[in-house]
Amino acid sequence: MANCNSITLQSPILITGAGGFVGQNLAANLAAQGYTNLLLFDKDSPAAALAEYAGQAQFVFHLAGVNRPTNNTEFYTGNADLTAQLLGLLQAAGNKAPLVLTSTTQAGNGTDYAKSKEAAETAVFAHGQQNQSDVYVYRLPGVFGKWSRPNYNTVVATFCHNVANNLPLEIRDPAYPLPLCYIDDVIASFTGVLTGCTPPPAAGQHMGINPTTTVTLGQLASLIQSFKQNRTTLALPNMGDAFTKKLYATYLSYLPQSAFSYPLTMHTDERGSFTEFLRTPERGQVSVNVSKPGIVKGNHWHNTKNEKFLVVRGSAVIRFRKVGDEEIIEYKVSGEKLEVVDIPTGYTHNIENVGEGELVTVMWASEPFDPKNPDTYFEKV
């Protein structure tokens, strides 16, 4: 079998369907990793280019296919027939390059789409046996991520696009289960095969993507809609959940270019301003505090809430006094040398602007402010 360790950054790598969702992500990631000889073939490429590339390629990613034709015969010409054509060109060139084929978890459901993909799979498995080539046939669930086309590739792309653009969602069956995998996990698996000599599976065995997550359409819609609300609530999604983190990244890629930014509410008075930036129930709240020269803010203490102060512009003195004691502790800080000052519980504290200009401090609190339970007690340092 072929030795994938022979693949170098200069090796010619053929990607069919290079202009599609998966192909575009694969080509961009390989180029970013330093691969310099990508043979990109797409529906707009000259037909003769496929034969030329098939003779040169040292690795083949066959991603091209048809999933939304104008008539069902295009399933077979765009999936089964194109695969057979590519395999024939490889064999005619005596090319034993390893080959990755993308198929679908819908295989076996009896549709023309599934049948055309199954025919492509069968041809690739036979090619591997006859040509003594390593073949990797991936049956992919719904793939989501950046650059996926709404109303074409996946429901995730459609939902993200619609929510980001204030368009309604059409949900026929909220309980419908939807298996999904993330584009970066797909690309990581592909590049692992390319660079790491992942052993090919046994003859006729398919490959999948790990992790794959199953959600209902209703859950998917609710989660994506919550992302839009976060700009008002300032609450970050649960970044501890891998699926939510990947879905949020996908949602942001569908924002209109005019909507990348959003305003924050600045609470201003004669002393300066205080602006909350973001909050999470698990990891607290981040705010930006601006103080005018000579202003002292704080003079309070907390039981459980703890904070971190980071002065990013100006000069300040942060003072502490343990509740019940008389000793005052001072820390002089400035934006000239960034350092974090922890605010321990049980210490009343304040921060004074001792500079000539505005003092800008980034403040983190271990819990979002709750007016019903502020855990804040006034006492001068």
Encode the chain (381 residues) as per-residue pLDDT tens digits.
444 557 999 999 999 999 999 999 999 999 999 999 999 999 999 989 999 999 999 999 999 988 777 788 888 888 899 999 999 999 999 999 999 999 999 888 989 888 999 999 999 999 999 999 999 999 999 999 999 999 987 999 999 999 999 999 999 999 999 999 999 999 999 999 998 767 888 888 999 999 999 999 999 999 999 999 999 999 999 999 999 999 999 999 999 999 999 999 999 999 999 999 999 988 999 999 999 999 999 999 999 999 999 999 999 999 999 999 999 999 999 999 999 999 999 999 999 999 999 999 999 999 999 999 999 999 999
Confidence at residue 197, expressed as pLDDT on a 0 to 100 scale: 63
CA–CA dist 188, 210 (Å, integer): 10
Q: Are 222 and 215 in contact (CB under 8 A)?
A: no
Closest CA to 35 of 55, 77, 7: 7
Q: Phi first, then psi: what are they for 221, rounded to 5°? A: -65, -45
| Annotated catalytic residue within 35, 53, 76, 113 | 113
Interatomic CA distance for residues 254 and 71, integer angstroms: 30
3-state SS assignment for residue 363: strand
pLDDT at 69: 75
5 contact partners, CB below 8 Å, separation of at least 6: 197
pLDDT, position 227: 97
Element (H, E) at 123: helix 112-131
Tell which residue, 224, 122, 240, 125, has the closest CA to residue 180.
224
Q: Which pLDDT belongs to residue 6?
A: 78
DSSP letters along 225-273, please? HHHHHHHHH-BPP-TTSHHHHHHHHHHHTTS-GGGS-----EEEETTEE
Give the integer Cα–Cα distance in Å for 141 and 157: 14
What global pTM score does this model have? 0.92
Angle 318-332-370 from CA coordinates, rounded to 5°:
25
Tokens for 315, please give them.
């000069």
What pLDDT, on a 0 to 100 scale, did the predictor assign at position 53? 98
- pLDDT (0 to 100) of residue 1: 46
Structure tokens at 48: 């003769």
113 labelled catalytic: yes
Pair 131, 137: CB distance under 8 Å = no
Distant-in-sequence, close-in-space partners of 280: CB < 8 Å, separation ≥ 6 = 235, 236, 238, 239, 368
